[in-house]
Amino acid sequence: MPNWQERSGMLDDSLALIGARLKNWREKRSMTLAELSETTGISSSTLSRLESGKRAPNLELVVPIARALRLELDDIVPRAAPDPRVKRTTKSIGGTQYETLSPESSPVQTYKVTFPAHPPGVVAVPEPKVHDGQEWLYVLSGRLRLVIGEQDVTLGPGEAAEFDTRIPHWLAATGAGPAEVLSIFSKEGKRIHLRARGG
């Protein structure tokens, strides 16, 4: 979280850009300096100096200009972007480790899931579960056994699956080591569509 000095610096940067933003909006509205001057009662020279950054912005100047250009405050001084980093938490359920990769408020929840390896010679017995939602998963490493309905498949690194979690399902690592999986879960049960821009 930024300290007060960093916040002060961000505010100074925003104030320094007000003139340029006002000029940009004036040009978008196809207004000349003379027309804006006539509408606001502020001299063209003052407007020019404000737009070029040679005149510090203040409310007496900015408010009438904003009205003349039909602008909201956020159009002139954009809100600071929130910290995009996700606070990650890790929890273990029955030996399976879940690491959160999305905020709780997100419409879809993303996890890095690590399924533990089973002791040599021990075959895990599926105990399918059912709950509302839609899940998409991608195997990062290891091998993952997925039992869903009548299907019993094994996925390796680079393979993906998507399924309705209202169908009885069960997942576990198979092979010599643990399986790491990227899991995206939609609580609403909506299909998950991933979009990627072309290079």
- The mean pLDDT of 157-182, rounded to a whole number, is 93
Plot region of 34 (φ>0 → left; ψ -120 to 50 → alpha; else → beta): alpha
Residue 184: CB atoms within 10 A of its CB come to 19
- State both tokens at 122: 């021990």
Give the pairing of strands 169-174 and 90-93.
Answer: unpaired
- The mean pLDDT of 3-24, rounded to a whole number, is 63
Instruction: Read off the DSSP letter of residue 5.
Output: H
- The mean pLDDT of 95-110, rounded to a whole number, is 89
Which residue ranges form the domains of the chain, and what is each CATH number? Answer: 4-76 (1.10.260.40), 90-186 (2.60.120.10)
- State both tokens at 130: 């059912």
Asked whether 33 and 44 are in contact (CB, 8 A), the reply is yes
User: What are the backbone angles phi and psi of residue 111, rounded to the nearest 5°?
Assistant: -135, 150
The SS3 call for residue 163 is strand
Instruction: Read off the DSSP letter of residue 47.
Output: H
Q: What percent of the chain has pLDDT over 90?
A: 53
Asked whether 17 and 62 are in contact (CB, 8 A), the reply is no
User: Residue 195 has what pLDDT?
Assistant: 41
Of 27, 10, 19, 11, nearest in space to 58 by CA: 19
- The mean pLDDT of 115-130, rounded to a whole number, is 83
Query: 144 falls in which pLDDT band (50, 70, 90)?
Result: very high
Asked whether 51 and 22 are in contact (CB, 8 A), the reply is yes
User: Residue 59 has what pLDDT?
Assistant: 86
4 pLDDT exceeds 60?
no
Torsion over CA: 49, 55, 60, 65 (sign): positive
Query: 123 falls in which pLDDT band (50, 70, 90)?
Result: confident
CA distance 105 to 141: 28
Question: pLDDT: is 115 or 192 the higher one?
Answer: 115
Question: pLDDT: is 128 or 12 the higher one?
Answer: 128
Torsion over CA: 187, 193, 194, 196 (sign): negative
